[in-house]
Amino acid sequence: MFSQEILKGTIKPLIIKLINEEGKMYGYQITQKVKELSSQKIVITEGALYPALHKLVEEGILVTESEWVGNRERKYYLLSESGKQTAVTKLEEIKESILMLVQLFDLKPLVYDVK
Amino acid sequence: MFSQEILKGTIKPLIIKLINEEGKMYGYQITQKVKELSSQKIVITEGALYPALHKLVEEGILVTESEWVGNRERKYYLLSESGKQTAVTKLEEIKESILMLVQLFDLKPLVYDVK
DNA sequence: AATTATACATAAGTTTATTATGCATATTGA
DNA sequence: TCAATATGCATAATAAACTTATGTATAATT
């Protein structure tokens, strides 16, 4: 069984990561992309997704851009100018954190910094 | 800067991991061990630690054993009989989850800095 | 025609963590 | 020696994040 427990706190970083790569994404697309990347194991629910997206907009990291496809709104989220800077920093931090988890839970031999 | 954000949800698994290795541990010892293992980067606060420990006892995974050192109580936590089984399963799940994070955030292949 | 997929969003309740506080003993350094 | 730090437990108020449920609506598929 796969535990989603440890994935708490990863939604916002994950959104930033994906949008940073794709340029822009809309909510539903994000849920599908994550499902795909995780082999259907991670399902981001709307109750988690939309508040997270709105928070990122509030924080000034993301901005929106609406597009109408037929009669349906598609609300794209993209990095703001300052958000582009923030994204780089945040992604660095996140990677460091994940490597910390890898280390704490012994998922690789210790890396000896021979400098 | 190190982000503790992504570490949410890892306290209980981490406790299980450490106690599984050490046999038994007491609260304060856990905080120190985590600090040490993380090069002082992760500080588990009491407000997070004790409720987590109590929860694990409630769940039947841990049991306690008090010891008096001088006039001070030292409350050891160890895996219950059934907890030993649970620990193996939980640790498997956690490792799978961390590997998922590694995959999602493109941390694979791991870079070894041998300078 | 009904079901599933696409697409947004919020609200109630739960879980988990942060920050603050509280109590008490032991050790260390100025 | 005595003040500060370390050891050791714990809870309470608050905040943050997530789950589950609900709501609305259009598009596509069977």
Domain encompassing residue B24: 4-105
A71 part of a folded domain: yes
Q: How many domains does chain A fold into?
A: 1
Residue A110: band (very low, low, confident or very high) from pLDDT cuts 50, 70, 90: very low
CB contact under 8 A, A100 and B41: yes
Residue A90, CB half-sphere, CA atoms under 13 Å: how many? 23
Tens of pLDDT, residue by residue over A48-105, are 999 999 999 999 999 999 998 888 889 999 999 999 999 999 999 999 999 999 999 9
Rounded CA-CA distance B20/B85 in Å is 11
CB contact under 8 A, B104 and A3: no
A86's enclosing H/E stretch is helix A81-104
Q: How confident is the model at residue B2 (pLDDT cuts 50, 70, 90)?
A: low
Residue A114: inside a domain, yes or no? no
Determine, yes or no, domain membership for B114.
no
Taking the C-alpha atoms of residue B76 and residue B68, their distance in angstroms, rounded to an integer, is 10
Strand partners, A64: A77
The pTM of the full predicted model, rounded to 2 decimals, is: 0.89
A97 touches chain B (CB under 8 A): yes
> Which neighbouring-strand residues pair with B64?
B77
Q: What is the pLDDT of residue B103?
A: 93
| Secondary structure of residue B2 in the 3-state scheme | coil
Single out the residue of A2, A93, A103, A98 nearest to residue A43, CA to CA: A2
- Structure confidence by residue, pLDDT tens digits, B9-64: 899 999 999 999 999 999 999 999 999 999 999 999 999 999 999 999 999 999 99
